[in-house]
Amino acid sequence: LGRLVPDRSWTALPVVGVSEQGSVAVGPVFACAIVGPQKTVKCWGSSDIGELGPKQSKQSDLVDVPGLDDAQELALGSNKNGCTQCGGVGFVCARRGDGTVWCAGANNAGQLGDGGTTPRAFAQAVPGVSGALQISSYGTSASVCVRSQGDKVQCWGDGVTSPVTIG
């Protein structure tokens, strides 16, 4: 909820520190918003492995996600599909104004698109993705898909046995 206490509310509460926001995305364990003229990404909620930036653990107040600026659209997800041995669960990807996609957080299923499974507290560009026009992730899935110029679709992560490109 953008605050440590209360951790739930039955009525709408403002998220303190989020103003001039663009889009807002909500995942199973945390939420993020694009804010301000630099279009940085601020998130709040669970941060088991630093998916909300370094030195964040468990529940967090509003924090900047390092490396996510000029964000145009967000995709959040988790690997909560019954995986009790996976460690941290959340990840965030942002489609930037230059058409690249940058991701941070949990990476046990390759959901950061970097070809590995090491989690990252600092966002990095997804190799091979350019001209992105749209990004999407299913909330309880560790997979991401991007639609790029020329109607090309690229997907990576859970349930994708190898990086997929359509188009």
Element (H, E) at 91: strand 90-96
pLDDT in tens, 26-59: 777 778 889 888 898 888 876 665 556 555 555 5
Task: Give CA–CA dist 32/53, Å, rounded.
Answer: 12
Residue with token string 């940085």: 40
Residues 3-35, buried b or exposed e (16+ Cβ, 10 A)?
beeeeeeeeeeebeebeeeeeebebbbbbbbbb
Residue 133 has what pLDDT?
Answer: 96
Q: One-letter amino acid identity for 84?
A: T
**Number of residues that this document lists for the chain:** 167
Residue 82 has what pLDDT?
Answer: 46
Q: What does residue 151 show for φ and ψ, rounded to 5 degrees?
A: 55, 35
Provide the pairing of β-strand 59-64 with 143-148.
Answer: unpaired
Residue 157 has what pLDDT?
Answer: 86
Q: Is 81's pLDDT higher than 90?
A: no
Residue with token string 């003229």: 37
* Helix (H/G/I), strand (E/B), else coil: 17: coil
Q: Which CA distances in Å does 128 have to 15, 65, 67, 96?
A: 35, 22, 18, 14
pTM of the full predicted structure?
Answer: 0.80
Average pLDDT, the chain: 77
Lowest mean pLDDT segment, chosen from 77-86, 107-116, 134-143 = 77-86
**Higher-confidence residue: 83 or 50?**
50
Residue with token string 């992560």: 157
Residue 121 has what pLDDT?
Answer: 81
